[in-house]
Amino acid sequence: MNTLIAVIIGAITVYLGYNHYARRIDRDVIEADPKKVTPARMYMDGVDFVPTNRNVLYGYHFKSIAAAGPIVGAITAGLLWGWLPSILWLALGVVFLGWASDYSAIMVSVRNDGNSISAIAHNLIAPRTRTILLIFIFFYLLLVAGAFGNLIASVLNTTPGIPLVIIVMAVMGMLGGQMLYRWRMDVVTMTIITVGVTLIVTLLGPTAAAQWLGKAVNAATNAISGGQPALVVFDPTQMNPQTQTPGVNVPIMPSYIFWVLFMFAFCYLGAILPIWRYAQPINYIGFWLTALTIVLGGIGAALAIVLKPEVAMFKLEAFKGFMAPAGGGAIQPLWPMLFVTIACGAISGWHALIGSVGTARQIENETDVLPVGGRAMFSEFTLGLLSLLAVSVAAAGATAPAKFANGVGGFLSVFGLPQAYGTSLAFAAFVVIVITVVQLVFRLMRVTLAEGLGDRWPIMRNMHVATLIGMLLTLLLVLSGTWVYLWQLFGAANQLMAALSLLIVTVWLAATGRNVLYAGLPFLFMYVTTLAATLVTAYNLWATVFLPGLRNGWGIAIVGAGAMIIVALLLVVAALYIGYDGWVAYQRHRQRPMEARAAPAPSS
């Protein structure tokens, strides 16, 4: 297998899936109507409801959904089960499940006054469903923030050229919002200036001038503790090379903590400022950096077979078996674990959340929903595919971000770009990909707290208070050491969220008298699969960390694993309740859709 064949498979998947399936559903089932007034135009408030050009909104939405999932997930799955099942799930998942989830969540919100998924569930299914769903969403968002936050801080701490890129992108984002919405400049001019400046700084990443800031901050913060760790976390998932027993002490340096706080400062602005002022233009800039990485990396991967064959040939096995190796009594069966290890890129619950709360409130015309939501999901599939190619041609060793950066750097070297510069661009793209999403995680967490607790505790409606509470909980989660277990549970929770969003879409389709199959069948598959995966994850934590921790006195590792097991079981119970309520509502709406109940009785 080589990268050219994989690129061809990806191109065929996007073409057929979007043009011959997604367009048909949009036209024949949903019947998108350009004449209908959207919530963005109806409730235009300049904060959340902002009619937006479809091209800008596509860039915003793509960067809002594309985070570490399609990179780390695809790389991890390829290493565990091989490239063949990974590429099959990416392709089949995006065509039959992923785009449908993204597009439908946005459309259902647009057709329901821009309401969130939980608010729609309240009206469509039952009030209890909204309450349970809000609890589920908050814990899910906490897992996302913890898992992604650790990745960002780790890369910022070890790659000194990246912090300057993030600072410049923030400044350019605020300038871009001012240019577009206050100075009324055209999109092309704004793009050339903001993206151009950010890209130039990104390409300077390997130089001493660009790395000066990161190195100076690391030196200054670590000097506070005299070069000693600020915290030591016991990680039972690693093997101690000296004693050949599970568990090593991982030092947490002050510089790492600083970069966690730096990430919070960046995301705080994204959570509280009007969407047009900061989050939207920053994500738009991030989209271009990510798109350039995907396009140039993809072209390089396709041309490598001719220009640089040693970069194009797969070193990864095609299929490693139905049960991936796992130590300590853990189990990693291909079903259901592959389908939660690769989340974003195939299907993701985060997309439905941000699509309903953020993107739906910026849709200018209903006919923009497919080019924005559907196209963005197919674009994220290409990022997942590129990540799988990067690990397939990479040598053994290194972390997932490093494998991504080194693999993409190899693809870019086909154009004569030095490996160091290509790797630097890919590292920067990775951080941009993740941090631009995390700012929206905190924004959504703030909205969830206000919606769930605002009536009981009005202070939760204060955006500053709600945002800081979410960040404080995330900080405790990251620094407690539980981040070493977060990724596997995040994947299961993320896909379970996708299943629940598809359930709400299915009930809405039934309530409006539409064919439910395009959303209903994906819901059934994801619901059963992710419930099973969540239970497998809880078992693995119990068997490999909690019980051995009790016997060996692993301290905080026991607390971390125990907390994750409890969260996993809470998510399963919540999903079962929501599934039951959804089934009852589905049966009710199928018997008498909303239009039938609202129609006047026929005269005798």
User: How far is the first Cα of the chain from the last one, in angstroms, to the nearest whole number?
Assistant: 71
How many domains would you assign to the chain? 1
Q: Is the pLDDT of residue 172 over 90?
A: yes
In this prediction, residues 414-420 reach a mean pLDDT of 85
In a domain, 600, yes or no: no
Q: Is the pLDDT of residue 71 over 90?
A: no
Tokens of 34: 């350009």
In a domain, 200, yes or no: yes
d(CA 385, CA 409): 15
In a domain, 296, yes or no: yes
In this prediction, residues 575-600 reach a mean pLDDT of 78
In a domain, 601, yes or no: no
- Residue 45, classified by CB atoms within 10 Å of its CB into exposed (0-12), middle (13-18) or buried (19+), is exposed
Q: Is the pLDDT of residue 553 over 60?
A: yes
Q: Is the pLDDT of residue 245 over 80?
A: no
In this prediction, residues 180-193 reach a mean pLDDT of 91
Read off the amino acid at residue 3.
T
In a domain, 603, yes or no: no
Of the candidates 509, 531, 511, the one whose C-alpha atom is nearest the C-alpha of residue 579 is 531
pLDDT band for position 106 (50/70/90)?
very high
d(CA 499, CA 571): 12
In a domain, 485, yes or no: yes
Q: What is the pLDDT of residues 267-315, one digit of tens each?
A: 999 999 988 899 889 988 988 888 888 899 999 999 999 889 988 999 9
d(CA 495, CA 539): 18
283 CB neighbour count, 10 Å cutoff:
29
483: domain range?
3-595
In a domain, 602, yes or no: no
Of the candidates 272, 258, 270, 273, the one whose C-alpha atom is nearest the C-alpha of residue 218 is 258
